[in-house]
């Protein structure tokens, strides 16, 4: 068929892999966001700030120690700590007032963004990856592709698997799932629900921080990224359904692919496709693809 | 006696606003007064939706931006991006675009409820920002439009501080009265019933989706008017005007004033504008966002109904105290009314 020959397969495959990379990153950020919402109904509008904070802390640690692993751990820990602090200081006692929680989170994201700008300035940073990931991997048709990006896809798959194991195979996961279904009953069974909430905020924050360090290594870190990843998290969970990890994976895939293909083939309308996906999903399933009634 | 006093207070308040340019310099007239009224009108569209329909929309700055971009596209041609129209036609096109955009946003947003509305409208707002940034065919990308002229009507140039202020005052007053009128109509009452109990209203046979979309249409016209004033004030529009910062600024102003009453929009816009204009003297201008963010958090935590809520609480407390002591001071009340009325008589339409 003549039209098949006209397609630039190399471009198409490269763009597809780029989309997959972005989907991996979106999934890691959005999975923390959706986990927090699923259990606590808190729309953490400061999630993008946690991403950016993790990235910056990771950068500092990697400069100081030269170890990428330490950067990963410290970035995740810093974001987790701030997440726990937010739940402890604000969201906890506002339980049930979802709009107020969202507004406070917006206020916190403004302050955090400004303080981070004050400390790290407008410069763009990038973390140094270990040497073994700085190479290229040979792939048919497109010849070679950065190993770091493939690593990111692998890491996202690992994190997804880890979350699935955590939620289905551990006691904490069982408590979390029980809390999503019937919080009152869980409390009645004598579980310290506020403590579980703190734990979930720690996990959600850690996922944002982890994504920050990974994103800061494979892509880059700069002010404004917080808003970008908040937006992607919002759209991913709106598309995938709030509170569902699998939904976040599907949503991340759809959104990232729409964005990447859109930018590659119609550069000035890239973002429009993302919204077409969102509107189309909302038209068919107002609660997202895998969303359930609250 | 009660309604008469209230009427006097309204007339007095309007009188003060009309007389304000006599006592203030150009900066206060244009960049505090005019800006407050224009920005406040956009905030009014947000407060209208929040107070009477229960939907908190973060896409109101976007709707204002749609009007602003349409106006700039039609009156300030840049390179290949242009379609020159006379200003009345351009303004109509801008308002039409704003209403259509708002209806479209409403159409998407009303499929969901509560916190989801907030998320979806925020997503739409940020999506529009990235679109204006990426797109050069319609939005001229990063640079946007500059040198958008404010109109000149019968020799009055609206780019000058005082004419601009009165234009803003007229538009703001019209929108304010319109909102207060709408909420007393059957349509407005249905919206409030919808806010309080959608299920019951649906059972009564009201098309609740259509009502919500129409409310977005009303808010769209108000936001569009505010957006037009904003463009004439700044003489330019760029992605920054519809970016996350502007979106959040609008939310901050509305929450500061209070999301329960239309007057809150203007009160919040005034406080926000004054703080923004003068914070430079007290804090490092670079750290303005930290200050305003902390104020915002404080308001949400301590006084969720904002300044208007605080004001009502003080008035209630004062009234209770007055009733308790049994000494209503009629002299003070009458004096207050008369002083304000005197202000009301000094209309300055000759300007």
Tell me the C-alpha distance between B333 and A42, whole Å: 47
Tell me the pLDDT band of A3, cut-offs 50, 70 and 90: low
Predicted local distance difference test score (pLDDT) of residue A51: 93
Tell me the C-alpha distance between A35 and A50, whole Å: 15
Dump strand ranges (E) for chain B.
152-153, 156-157
A57-61, A135-139, A211-215, A285-289: lowest mean pLDDT where? Answer: A135-139
Of the candidates B309, B289, B290, the one whose C-alpha atom is nearest the C-alpha of residue B299 is B309
Domain boundary assignment for chain A:
25-226
Of A33, A86, A105, A107, which to mutate for an interface test with B (greatest number of B Cβ within 10 Å)?
A: A107
Residue A1 pLDDT exceeds 50: no
Set of chain B residues whose Cβ sits within 8 Å of the Cβ of A234 = 119-120, 122-123
- Looking at B54-111, list the stretches that DSSP marks H as alpha helix, in order from N- to C-terminal side: 60-75, 87-109
Which of A104, A267, A270 has the CB atom closest to B297's CB atom? A104
Predicted local distance difference test score (pLDDT) of residue B322: 64
B119 has a chain A CB within 8 A of its CB: yes
Distance from CA of A110 to the nearest CA of B (A): 6
Give me the helix-helix angle, B262-278 and B288-302, nearest 10°: 150
Predicted local distance difference test score (pLDDT) of residue B305: 76
Residue B129 pLDDT exceeds 70: yes
Query: Chain A residues contacting B, CB < 8 Å?
Result: 41, 43, 45, 90, 98-100, 102-104, 106-108, 110-111, 113-115, 117-118, 227, 231, 234-235, 238, 242, 267-272, 274-275, 278-279, 282-283, 286-287
Which of B111, B290, B300 has the CB atom closest to A100's CB atom? B300
Residue A214 φ then ψ, to 5°: -65, -45
User: Is residue A189 within 8 Å of A64, Cβ to Cβ?
Assistant: no
Q: Widest CA span of chain B, in angstroms?
A: 73
Q: Could you confirm whether domain B28-270 is CATH 3.30.1940?
A: no
A43/B118 touch (CB, cutoff 8 Å), yes or no: yes
User: Is residue B330 within 8 Å of B322, Cβ to Cβ?
Assistant: no
Tell me the C-alpha distance between B293 and A106, whole Å: 8
| Exposure string over A54-63, b if 16+ CB within 10 A, otherwise e | bbbbbbbbbe
The predicted model gives A254-263 an average pLDDT of 87
B285 has a chain A CB within 8 A of its CB: no
Q: Which two tokens stand for residue A78?
A: 């810093």
Predicted local distance difference test score (pLDDT) of residue B99: 93
> Half-sphere exposure of residue A129, counting CA atoms within 13 Å on the CB side?
20
Tell me the C-alpha distance between B129 and A17, whole Å: 26
Predicted local distance difference test score (pLDDT) of residue B333: 41
Going from the C-alpha of A4 to that of each of A7, A16, A17, A140, B127, the distances in angstroms are 6, 17, 20, 18, 33
Beta bridge partners of residue A143, listed in sequence order: A139
Set of chain A residues whose Cβ sits within 8 Å of the Cβ of B119 = 43, 234, 238
Name the residue with higher pLDDT: A198 or B312: A198
Tell me the C-alpha distance between B335 and B322, whole Å: 17
Length in residues, chain B: 351
Distance from CA of B111 to the nearest CA of A (A): 6
Tell me the C-alpha distance between A49 and B54, whole Å: 28
B136/A107 touch (CB, cutoff 8 Å), yes or no: no
- The string of pLDDT tens digits covering residues B149-208 is 777 777 777 777 777 788 888 888 899 889 889 888 988 888 888 888 888 888 888 888
The predicted model gives B242-250 an average pLDDT of 85
Tell me the C-alpha distance between A244 and A44, whole Å: 15
- The string of pLDDT tens digits covering residues B271-292 is 888 887 777 777 676 777 888 8
Predicted local distance difference test score (pLDDT) of residue A6: 65
The predicted model gives B236-255 an average pLDDT of 85
Set of chain A residues whose Cβ sits within 8 Å of the Cβ of B112 = 282, 286-287
The predicted model gives B57-72 an average pLDDT of 90
């Amino acid at each position: 068929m003549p039209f098949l020959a006209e397609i630039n397969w190399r471009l198409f495959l490269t763009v597809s892999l780029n989309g997959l990379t972005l989907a991996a990153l979106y999934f890691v950020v959005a999975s923390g966001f959706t986990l927090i919402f699923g259990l606590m109904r808190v729309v953490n509008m400061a999630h993008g700030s946690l991403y950016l904070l993790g990235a910056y802390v990771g950068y500092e640690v990697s400069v100081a120690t030269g170890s990428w692993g330490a950067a990963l751990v410290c970035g995740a820990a810093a974001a987790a700590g701030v997440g726990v602090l937010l739940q402890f200081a604000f969201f906890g006692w506002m339980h049930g007032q979802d709009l107020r929680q969202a507004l406070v989170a917006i206020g916190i994201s403004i302050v955090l963004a400004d303080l981070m700008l004050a400390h790290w300035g407008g410069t763009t940073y990038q973390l140094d990856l270990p040497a073994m990931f700085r190479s290229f991997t040979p792939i048919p048709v497109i010849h070679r592709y950065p190993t770091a990006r493939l690593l990111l896809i692998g890491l996202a798959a690992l994190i997804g698997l880890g979350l699935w194991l955590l939620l289905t195979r551990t006691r904490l996961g069982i408590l979390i799932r029980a809390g999503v279904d019937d919080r009152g009953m869980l409390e009645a069974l004598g579980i310290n629900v506020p403590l579980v909430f703190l734990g979930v905020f720690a996990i959600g924050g850690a996922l944002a921080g982890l994504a920050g360090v990974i994103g800061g290594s494979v892509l880059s870190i700069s002010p404004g990224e917080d808003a970008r990843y908040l937006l992607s998290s919002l759209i991913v969970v709106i598309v995938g359904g709030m509170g569902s990890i699998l939904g976040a994976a599907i949503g991340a895939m759809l959104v990232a692919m729409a964005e990447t293909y859109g930018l590659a083939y119609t550069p000035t309308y890239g973002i429009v496709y993302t919204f077409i996906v969102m509107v189309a999903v909302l038209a068919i399933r107002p609660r997202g693809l895998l969303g359930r009634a609250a | 006696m009660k309604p008469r006093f209230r009427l006097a207070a309204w007339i007095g308040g309007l009188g003060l606003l009309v007389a304000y340019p006599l006592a203030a310099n150009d900066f206060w007239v244009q960049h505090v007064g005019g800006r407050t009224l224009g920005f406040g009108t956009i905030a009014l569209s947000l407060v209208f939706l929040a107070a009477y329909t229960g939907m908190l929309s973060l896409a109101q700055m976007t709707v204002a931006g749609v009007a602003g971009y349409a106006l700039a596209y039609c009156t300030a041609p840049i390179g290949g991006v242009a379609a020159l129209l006379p200003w009345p036609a351009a303004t109509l096109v801008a308002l039409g675009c704003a209403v259509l955009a708002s209806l479209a946003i409403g159409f998407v947003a009303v499929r969901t409820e509560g916190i989801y509305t907030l998320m979806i409208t925020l997503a739409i707002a940020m999506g529009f920002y990235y679109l204006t940034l990426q797109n050069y065919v319609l939005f001229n990308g990063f640079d946007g439009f500059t040198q958008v002229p404010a109109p000149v009507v019968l020799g009055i140039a609206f780019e000058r501080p005082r004419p601009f202020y009165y234009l803003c005052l007229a538009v703001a007053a019209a929108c304010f009265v319109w909102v207060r009128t709408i909420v007393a109509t059957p349509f407005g009452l249905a919206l409030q019933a919808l806010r309080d109990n959608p299920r019951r209203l649906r059972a009564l046979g009201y098309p609740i989706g259509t009502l919500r979309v129409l409310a977005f249409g009303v808010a769209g016209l108000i936001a569009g008017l505010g957006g037009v004033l904003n463009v004439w004030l700044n003489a330019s529009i760029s992605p920054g005007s519809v970016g996350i910062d502007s979106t959040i600024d609008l939310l901050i102003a509305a929450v500061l004033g209070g999301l329960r009453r239309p007057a809150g929009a203007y009160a919040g816009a005034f406080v926000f504008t004054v703080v923004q204009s003068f914070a430079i003297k007290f804090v490092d201008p670079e750290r303005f966002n930290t200050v305003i963010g902390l104020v915002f958090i404080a308001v949400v935590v301590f006084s969720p109904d904002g300044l208007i809520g605080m004001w009502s609480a003080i008035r209630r407390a004062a009234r209770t105290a007055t009733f308790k002591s049994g000494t209503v001071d009629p002299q003070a009340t009458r004096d207050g009314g008369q002083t304000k009325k005197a202000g009301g008589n000094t209309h300055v339409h000759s300007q």
